[in-house]
A and B are shown apart, each in its own frame.
Chain A
Amino acid sequence: MFYVDIIKRALRNLLSAKARTILTALAIAVGTFALTLTLGASNGAQNYAQNIVKTNFDPSELLVAKDTGLFKRQDASRPQLYDPSYGSITTFGGETRQVKMLDTSDIQKLAKIKGVSSAQPGINVSLQYLTKDNTNKYIGTLAPYNPYQNPTLLAGKIPPQLQENTLILPEGFLGSLGFIDAQSAINQTIKLSVLSQATSSMVPGASKSQVTDFKIIAVYKTPNTAISAATSLNLYASLGSVENLNNFIYKGTGNYQKYLEAVVKVTDGTNTTKLNDVENLIKAQGYGVQSVIDTEKTITQIIGVLEGIVTVFGIIAIIASVFGVVNTMYISVLQRTREIGLMKALGMHRKDISRLFRIEAGLIGLLGGIIGSLLAIVGGTGLNPVISSKLGLGDSKLLIFKFSQVGLLIIALIIIGIIAGLLPARKAAHLDPIEALRTE
């Protein structure tokens, strides 16, 4: 029998038992639905993670730390020996750690490494408060502006080189600082206060603070890809301005001009090979390094675990439905015993009979795959705007469906169907035609 005839016959057989075919296919569709949604969510999450990384980190930059353990999880279950060579005792989420700090000589050393275009201390200043005349005082963070961030501006302009004591304000502070809108904030001055750690630690209660006036030159829109809600309220200024405040905070302490990490920009760093070369050179000098790719990996690793869990459930659903296909095909063989007998009497080869039942099982897999993936795509696409708005993802979509993936999933289901049909097909192929023709 030609393949085309076997396929036509298989289709006709499935159509003649519509209810049974659809019910069996629906069992497969449940697993397919879950897997298609998982794939869509995975694509969406990967895309979102990439957006976060893209809008928050410069891919040609490397984060460098003196403490190689900074970018790794450390075993905090055992007591750690005190090492006086470490510059600082720091608390990370309730865990006390000694951290080796970078100093200016390290920064200079990093800047001289082949392939490095610049090395800067990575600093964020925790402000004592920020305020405008006659408004409340608010806590905040001042970070150095990186042109790579390219924020969406609501008002103002960002010059190629930021002047000292000018800043870019997040829209979240507009109302709190008494501005009617973004435009009205431009060229206005706000006060940033920082508290010296030296005085406060030596004479409690006698802390020394410094208030500096900063001119607002631009207001940026809160990005929906901020790493956290808190970073969406960061104020940005030139590195020099941030460094000045940072120096004031730590002058007179052991952490003066010492930095947890440095930001190293690599020449042509978007080229992965060049970035890796510099990464290796820095590592060879005993520093810890983390690239944007590493950051992305960390984010996607978490997503991967969640995906894995949902995928396992989807696969379990498909495995369960495979038994449904086996059962359906066995029933089909029993019901069509006389038909099988007739086909054998008319000279149909065993292999063709086996093929017929395997193709029928494969077609059930195909139908289940199409129903499940279509439901997931239609439902997911319809719900995408609602989910994205609820999760505050902005323009990003939580579910992104790729036809290549769905196609591969459906092909896999056809193969699974064919495998599920193997035993019933074997039974059909080995039926004794005389016994089959005698069956009532």
Chain B
Amino acid sequence: MIEVKNLTKIYGKKENKFTALSDVSLNIKSKSTVSIIGKSGSGKSTLMHIMSGLDEPTSGSVVIGGKNIFEMSERKIDSFRANEMSFVFQSFFIEANATCLQNVLLPLEIARVSLTKRKQLAIDALEAVELEDKASVKASTLSGGQKQRLAVARAIVNKPSILFADEPTGNLDSVTGDKIMDLIFSLNKKLGCTVILVTHDNDLAKQTDMRIRLKDGKIESIEESKK
């Protein structure tokens, strides 16, 4: 369970003050798929960054598994992110000069997973996104869709409990984008990780269990699909 309580984020001071999030509270069930939707500047990315501990709120708390992540030391938040969270970004953020295998190994290196286990975990992740034959290929040679699949493999390799996906289909054509989302949803079912999706795409959002609509930093609506 992720409990977001009275989150407020204000950037700047005095006349330059800008409220990105205002008193946002919500609960996200474990293993569910959630979409955060809204126009540009509505606070979607800020909410995602704060929920993942990449940014700190001006006030409020994020409680994951009963722990307020902002009461943890910086080192503990880092370790928590390394072991429990992962990310898929719109711009892939692939290390172009590294091989696909090296890209997927990165989260395992950061999480200090033992050397003996790493390679098998990385190959399993590449198999899950059907890129096992590209393990030793340089990431720069991949197509856009393959790069995003590689990013998904990197995101699932450490078997996270929460996967944050920030506009994962934004740089892909619709067919490839659909394939990536099918992959992410199937991994949600297979691995049982909570998927938090930031998107502009209402059709995509409709496929998630819960839709949080933000407007000007406030929650406009929360919809949940009936199962």
Contact = CB atoms under 8 A, between A and B. Distances in A.
Contacts of B85: 347
Interface residues of B, number: 29
B182 interface: no
A347 B54 contact: no
Contacts of A338: 91, 93
Contacts of A342: 87, 89, 93, 106
A214 B5 CA distance: 115
Nearest to A9: B109
Nearest to B98: A12
A433 B85 CA distance: 15
B112 interface: yes
A11 to B, nearest CB: 12
Interface in B28-53: 49, 52
A1 B110 CA distance: 5
B83 interface: yes
B81 interface: yes
B75 interface: yes
A346 B82 contact: yes
Contacts of A339: 93, 95
A348 interface: yes
A72 to B, nearest CB: 65
A139 to B, nearest CB: 77
Contacts of A350: 74
B82 A348 contact: yes
B109 A434 contact: no
Interface in B90-136: 91, 93, 95, 97-98, 102, 106-107, 109-112, 115
Contact of B78 (A2, A16, A341, A348): A348
A343 interface: yes
B110 A346 contact: yes
Given A2-B109, A5-B109, A346 B86 contact: yes
A347 B80 CA distance: 7
Given A1-B112, A12-B102, A338-B93, A346 B87 contact: yes
B221 interface: no
A393 interface: no
Contacts of B93: 338-339, 341-342, 437
Interface in B53-88: 54-55, 74-75, 78-83, 85-87
B107 to A, nearest CB: 5
Nearest to B114: A2
B48 to A, nearest CB: 10
A338 B92 CA distance: 11
Contacts of B54: 344-345, 433-434
A440 to B, nearest CB: 9
B104 to A, nearest CB: 12
Contact of B110 (A16, A341, A347): A347
Interface in A77-99: none
Nearest to A8: B109
A345 B95 contact: no
A271 B39 CA distance: 91
B109 A347 contact: no
Nearest to A338: B93
Contacts of B80: 347
A345 B87 contact: yes
Contact of A349 (B78, B91, B106): B78
Contacts of A349: 75, 78
Given A12-B102, A434-B49, A1 B109 contact: yes
Nearest to A13: B97
A322 B115 CA distance: 35
Interface in A397-440: 433-434, 437
A346 B106 contact: yes
A339 B55 CA distance: 18
B97 A16 contact: yes
Nearest to B52: A345
B106 A437 contact: no
A12 to B, nearest CB: 7
Contacts of B97: 12, 16
Contacts of B95: 339
B89 A347 contact: no
Contacts of A434: 49, 54-55
29 contacts: A1-B110, A1-B112, A2-B109, A2-B112, A2-B115, A4-B115, A12-B97, A12-B98, A12-B102, A338-B91, A339-B93, A339-B95, A342-B93, A343-B106, A344-B54, A345-B54, A345-B81, A346-B81, A346-B110, A347-B80, A347-B82, A347-B107, A347-B110, A348-B82, A350-B74, A433-B54, A434-B49, A434-B55, A437-B93
Please give me the 5 A-B residue pairs with the lowest Cβ-Cβ distance, nearest first: A347-B82, A347-B81, A16-B97, A5-B109, A342-B93
Given A342-B93, A347-B78, A434-B55, 5 more contacts: A4-B115, A346-B81, A347-B110, A347-B111, A352-B110
